């Protein structure tokens, strides 16, 4: 498998969830990470999979999402520094999820 990352930056959490749903239903991709900026007004989704699946998924979301993405890209065979950056983002996201889960159980 040739690993690739697909990035979509879109305004609004609802539009981001819609775009992610389209991507995951269109091709064999999975969410690698996501970031919210400006209080959730700007959301960056990062999906991963093989190059053709990621390309198909991003193209489908760009064409069919409820809002037009602010920007998007596909990076085939990402450089190891890009992989580190995505993994760092994913670790922060997973840490926040774990902290929220611990708070709920108390």
What does the pLDDT read at residue 24? 97
As given in the structure block, the two tokens for residue 30 are 């999975």
Q: What is the pTM of this model?
A: 0.86
CATH architecture, range 3-105: 2-Layer Sandwich (3.30)
Alpha helices by DSSP H, the chain: 13-26, 51-64, 80-105
Q: For residue 31, give the 3-state DSSP assignment.
A: strand
Q: Is the distance from CB of 28 to CB of 19 less than 8 angstroms?
A: no
Q: Is the distance from CB of 36 to CB of 10 less than 8 angstroms?
A: no
In tens digits, what is the pLDDT along the chain, a chain of 106 residues? 569 999 999 999 999 999 999 999 999 999 999 998 876 689 999 999 999 999 999 999 999 999 999 999 999 999 999 999 999 999 987 777 777 777 776 6
Which neighbouring-strand residues pair with 7?
46, 73
What does the pLDDT read at residue 33? 93
């Amino acid at each position: 498998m040739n690993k690739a990352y697909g990035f979509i930056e879109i305004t609004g959490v609802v539009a981001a969830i819609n775009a992610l749903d389209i991507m995951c239903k269109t091709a064999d991709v999975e969410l690698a990470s996501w970031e919210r900026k400006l209080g959730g007004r700007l959301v960056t989704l990062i999906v991963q999979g093989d190059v053709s699946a990621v390309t198909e998924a991003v193209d489908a979301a760009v064409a069919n999402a409820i809002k037009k993405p602010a920007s998007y890209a596909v990076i085939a065979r990402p450089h190891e520094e890009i992989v580190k950056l995505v993994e760092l983002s994913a670790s922060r996201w997973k840490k926040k999820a774990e902290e929220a889960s611990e708070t709920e159980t108390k």
